[in-house]
Amino acid sequence: MSQALHQAFAELPGLESFCTQLWENFAPLFAMKKLQARAGVLLERLPPGQLAHELSEWKRLALVPSPDPHDQELVGVLWQSPLFQVLMDAIGFFPPDDIDLRPYMAPLYATVQEMAEARQQLVLKCTRGAVARGDLPYWQVVLKMQAPHLYLEPFLRPAEELQGCDLACGWGRICLTLSDYRHRRIHACDLAQSSLHSLEKLAVRRELPGTIETHRVDILNLPFPDHFFDFYLAFDIFEHLVDDVLSRCIREMLRCGKVGAPLYTETPLLAYCPPLTHLQNWTKEELCAAFEREVVDGKSWRLKFWDPLIPDHLTFVIEQVH
């Protein structure tokens, strides 16, 4: 164990348990020492004094061994924390800014069953420690676990130009991997400026000039007019929102979305884990109910496509309900 990580564990009791709870979502328990070693190397690279500051802040906010699952603000605090970013990058969460993503993208799976089989193989590699060893960085895993040509494209209406929104886009894991960019402008929205900078650099390498426009915004107050978007993308977002915040987010999407606009979302089900800032533990029925009960200007969401082989991928469409 590196001196920096040993110091962190000693100064912040509960941090080691936090790390284990966090990392076991991506790697087996027998691989924890490898992840600790990788995290230690990354901690050594932090600017002088930053680790001490982070440990003090985490202690003040009582983030370990597990943050308060009812405190929405702690989600933003963690994801903008350099210490948390190191712990996530120990699994290879963030791709290098200067890489071309295309060689790592998923093929165009012919069916959901084909996608499910590929996903099963990836999960098997993860359980055998591939992520922990660094053989399969997590950013490569997520690129293989999506299929917009199955979950988005069939539900889009033809138009001269489609306006899309990638909500809480992060580094662009979904908006940078669509199967078709013709006649589209994608508004990538996130609160973290560092993520938007990464996305912009990756978009250049992806050769998508003028197609993706980044916006540093609060997703509960989107700076777009009513009935603006033709489609939405939202990957790994809603499970990070407590009930009242989720309701506001869903309503804001309805306000900005056109009737007929699809939403392609990956939302983990039965995946409660506060150290990963997962605050919900939905079944598919509970998630659908959360979406379908909201109504704005006579518009509501309706589930249009779901297959139990890939239970956390869903397509909702905005419908006129009255």
How would residue 235 be classed by pLDDT, with cut points 50, 70 and 90? very high
Q: Which CATH superfamily is domain 148-320 in?
A: Vaccinia Virus protein VP39 (3.40.50.150)
pLDDT band at 2 (very low <50, low <70, confident <90, very high): confident
List the chain domain ranges: 3-89, 148-320
pLDDT, tens only, 134-152: 999 999 999 999 999 999 9
pLDDT of residue 199: 97
Rounded to 10 degrees, what is the CA torsion of 109, 111, 116, 118? -30
- For 21-34, what is the mean pLDDT? 96
Residue 161 is encoded by which pair of tokens? 């130009």
| Greater pLDDT, 322 or 300 | 300
**Is the model's pLDDT at 229 over the cut of 80?**
yes
Q: Rounded to two decimals, what is the model's pTM?
A: 0.95
pLDDT in tens, 145-196: 999 999 999 999 988 899 999 999 999 999 999 989 989 999 999 999 999 9
The amino acid sitting at 318 is: I
Which residue matches tokens 């390498």? 205
Mean predicted lDDT score pLDDT of the chain:
96
Nearest-angstrom CA–CA distance, 191 and 275? 20
Q: With CA atoms as reference, report the closest residue to 166 among 137, 132, 195.
A: 195
